[in-house]
Homo-oligomer: A and B are copies of this chain.
Amino acid sequence: MSSKRHKQQANKRHAHVFAALGDQTRLSLVSKLSDGQPRSITQLADDHKLSRQAITKHLHVLENAGIVQSSRSGRESIFQFDVQPLDELQNYLRSVSDQWDQTLARLKSFVEEQ
């Protein structure tokens, strides 16, 4: 078993990414960008009721979590999706639900032994 320290570190990373996804606006940005098409801030903001600045802030939150990456192209700032952090979350959730499934299995066999 890994040390408690390592678990805390992993928890911290995961919590950071989860928190980035814990907002409706950011989730919709992720949905849009997950088609692989890079988009500028203005493009992403045009679909929303929020101001461009608000969208910019959200994009930076996503970038800090590693979910999107930005690059400058002329006067535009282009954001594109990166699947890796979400894959890690998926693995984490899988590990949790696997543990749960094993619990259920143990419970079932226990009940059947009666």
Q: Min CB distance, A41 to chain B, in Å?
A: 20
In the complex, A107 has a CB within 8 A of chain B: yes
When distances are taken between beta carbons in the complex, the residues of chain B under 8 Å from A28 are: 7-8, 11
Contact A22 B24 (CB under 8 A): no
Contact B7 A31 (CB under 8 A): yes
Known: A7-B31, A15-B21. A89 touches B93 (CB 8 A): yes
Contact A15 B36 (CB under 8 A): no
Q: Min CB distance, A23 to chain B, in Å?
A: 6
Known: A11-B27, A21-B15. A83 touches B107 (CB 8 A): no
Q: Min CB distance, A7 to chain B, in Å?
A: 7
